[in-house]
Amino acid sequence: MSKEMTIWVVIAVYAVFMLVIAILNSRNSRDISTFTVGGRNAGAWISALSYGTSYFSAVMFVGYAGGSGWKYGLWAVLPGIGNAIIGAMLAWLVLAKRTRKVTRRHDIKSMPQLFEKRFGSQSMKMFAVAVIFIFLLPYSASVYKGLTSVCSVLLGVDDTICMIIIAVASALIVILGGYVATLKADFVQGIIMMFGVAALLFAVFRCQQVGGLASGIERMQAYMAEHPMGTMDYVSLWATVLMTSFGTWGLPQMIHKYYAIKDDHEVKRGVIISTFFCLLVAGGGYAIGAFSHLFTFTGGENGLPAGGADYIIPHMLNDAGLPYILLGVVLVLLIAASVSTLSSITITASSTVSMDLVKSKILKNMGENTTATFTRVFCLLFIILSYFIANSDTPILDMMSYSWGIISGSFLAPYAVSLYWKGINKAGAWAGMLGGFLTAFIPVAISGFTTPYGPIYACAAMVISLILCFAVSAVASKMGFKSGARNDAFYVETPAEKT
């Protein structure tokens, strides 16, 4: 059987399995609560793997692993380690338990609703809806581009066809099954990703170009000694580590995973599972990219393959002489990672529009089932818009960094601080939200969305937002402003929580 045929067979098996999951769960997602939070009874394995598969997509494997490996050499493993320790372990330890309790106590189904109920501001909720829907689009588009570059190299399939297939797959899972189907699909896809990355690491390290792990490290060290990094390279490296690690603390599609966790015991188990998953998947993905300079590429500039940095990993996989069946598994790994991320992004962005805009402001008497139907319509619209944005020439890394920087810069500080500090008020939250948004958005917009310093602006936005939340809250409270009032009732536990 040819390489292409073998890969297509493996993909077909995966596609049928995902379709079955979507269909079997289609009857369980008719109302908006089930569609968005799945009954709030998810266990640790499902929640943790859903978190991890939403975290990592073809963007990480193709865009960040390839681009970082080419730019930073062996130092490229640092973002993977940071993702596991900061983006998974610390995130779960700091955010999961309190987020689960608060969202359950106040029946919160989205981040805009959390801001509204904590700060008593309809306008803040509307601002959050707009930021989430608009700026998750480039993130979604970057996932399309990442997977498309792999399919085009390994299968020789036209980019447009690849994008259409990806869009249809994610639409079927989300629109048919909603959050429950996404969780179950993520669990299966998480298992595929772990085994796939482990097998891929073993195969790439043993391939002729690398020649074994020890030999590969020695040769890369020699290359890095001949091509030392500059000061801005180190700044960009650490900005990438911090953005891709702390950035998840403010992404609504990641925080959404905490809403549905069954109890605190499952949270504790989720810390361990999510950390292991992220260390294997992210650490493994970045480790592969770290050896990119040991491969020979043709067709591009400065030693890069034709198409630029986005095509480093696809050509590495194609040139490493991997068995056809493993190539099929790798492609399914990337499809699984991408579809799960797309599903999570799509549900988060679309449900906020239907619940927090349409039902809240326009059709206030709309029932639960009708809201779920509207959400499905917005899911389809979101997927179509993502497809068109993905056809732009913007590199994968840039698309993702714009999205993460603007969204996390806007939301991380007001959200995380409000979980722990009763003193944060509406004035402080607005200052942090707008300050972070403008810090990340203005330089990117001025550059025409072409700046390579997106991670640096993202980190600056998160820091500035945090400072503003504390400083403005303190000033507003001391001056006696109406927007400086406290909301201690938000933190009062219900009798059920105390028992």
Binning pLDDT at 50, 70 and 90, where does residue 148 land?
confident
The pLDDT of residue 83 is above 90:
yes
Q: Tell whether the torsion through CA atoms of 122, 123, 125 and 129 is positive or negative.
A: positive
Bridge partners for 261 per DSSP: 42
Q: What is the percent of the chain with per-residue pLDDT over 90, rounded to a whole number?
A: 32
The pLDDT of residue 111 is above 80:
yes
DSSP sequence for 318-373:
HHTT--HHHHHHHHHHHHHHHHHHHHHHHHHHHHHHIIIIIIIII-TT--HHHHHH
Q: Which of 341, 33, 305 is nearest to 182 (CA)?
A: 341
Highest mean pLDDT among 268-277, 437-446, 455-464, 467-476: 467-476
The pLDDT of residue 128 is above 90:
yes
Residues 451-463 have pLDDT tens digits of 777 888 999 999 9
Average pLDDT over residues 188-210: 84
Is residue 415 packed enough to be buried (19+ CB in 10 Å), middle (13-18) or exposed (0-12)?
buried
Q: What pLDDT score was predicted for residue 471?
A: 97
Maximum Cα–Cα distance across the chain:
75
Binning pLDDT at 50, 70 and 90, where does residue 417 land?
very high
Q: What is the percent of the chain with per-residue pLDDT over 70, rounded to a whole number?
A: 87
Residues 284-312 have pLDDT tens digits of 989 999 999 998 887 777 788 877 777 88
Phi and psi angles of residue 305, each rounded to the nearest 5 degrees, phi first: -75, 165
Residue with the bigger pLDDT between 76 and 171: it is 76
Q: What pLDDT score was predicted for residue 1?
A: 65
Task: Report the range of poorest mean pLDDT among 170-179, 269-278, 383-392.
Answer: 170-179
Binning pLDDT at 50, 70 and 90, where does residue 433 land?
very high
Distances (CA, A) of 172 to 182, 373, 461: 10, 14, 36
Q: What pLDDT score was predicted for residue 4?
A: 73
Q: What pLDDT score was predicted for residue 117?
A: 93
Binning pLDDT at 50, 70 and 90, where does residue 223 land?
very high
- Tokens encoding 90: 């610390």
Answer yes or no: are the C-beta atoms of 294 and 220 closer than 8 Å: yes
Binning pLDDT at 50, 70 and 90, where does residue 95 land?
very high
Quote the CA–CA distance of 158 and 266 in Å, as a whole number.
44
Bridge partners for 299 per DSSP: 305
Side-chain-side CA neighbours of 255 within 13 Å: the count stands at: 31
Quote the CA–CA distance of 127 and 115 in Å, as a whole number.
10
DSSP sequence for 174-238:
IIIIHHHHHHHHHHHHHHHHHHHHHHHHHHHHHSTTT-SHHHHHHHHHHHHHHS---HHHHHHHH
At CA 127, angle to CA 124 and CA 133, rounded to 5?
140
Quote the CA–CA distance of 453 and 79 in Å, as a whole number.
16
Answer yes or no: are the C-beta atoms of 284 and 200 closer than 8 Å: yes
Q: What pLDDT score was predicted for residue 431?
A: 97
Report how far Cα 171 is from the mean position of its chain's Cα atoms. Answer: 17
Answer yes or no: are the C-beta atoms of 86 and 55 closer than 8 Å: no
What domains are there in the chain, each with its CATH number? 3-396 (1.20.1730.10)
b/e per residue 342-361 (b: at least 16 CB within 10 A): bbbbbbbbbbbbbbbbbbbe
At CA 337, angle to CA 335 and CA 343, rounded to 5?
95
pTM here? 0.84
Residues 459-486 have pLDDT tens digits of 999 999 999 999 999 999 999 999 999 9
Phi and psi angles of residue 261, each rounded to the nearest 5 degrees, phi first: -65, 140
Residues 172-198 have pLDDT tens digits of 666 665 555 566 666 777 787 888 888
Binning pLDDT at 50, 70 and 90, where does residue 440 land?
very high
DSSP label of 73:
G
Residue with the bigger pLDDT between 52 and 21: it is 52
Q: What pLDDT score was predicted for residue 35?
A: 47
- Tokens encoding 439: 């810090």
The pLDDT of residue 218 is above 90:
yes
Q: What pLDDT score was predicted for residue 32?
A: 47
Residues 326-385 have pLDDT tens digits of 877 777 777 777 777 777 788 788 888 887 888 777 777 777 677 777 777 888 888 888
Binning pLDDT at 50, 70 and 90, where does residue 36 land?
very low
In whole numbers, what is the pLDDT of the chain averaged over residues? 82
Q: What pLDDT score was predicted for residue 31?
A: 46
Bridge partners for 305 per DSSP: 299
Quote the CA–CA distance of 92 and 261 in Å, as a whole number.
12
Residue with the bigger pLDDT between 437 and 110: it is 437
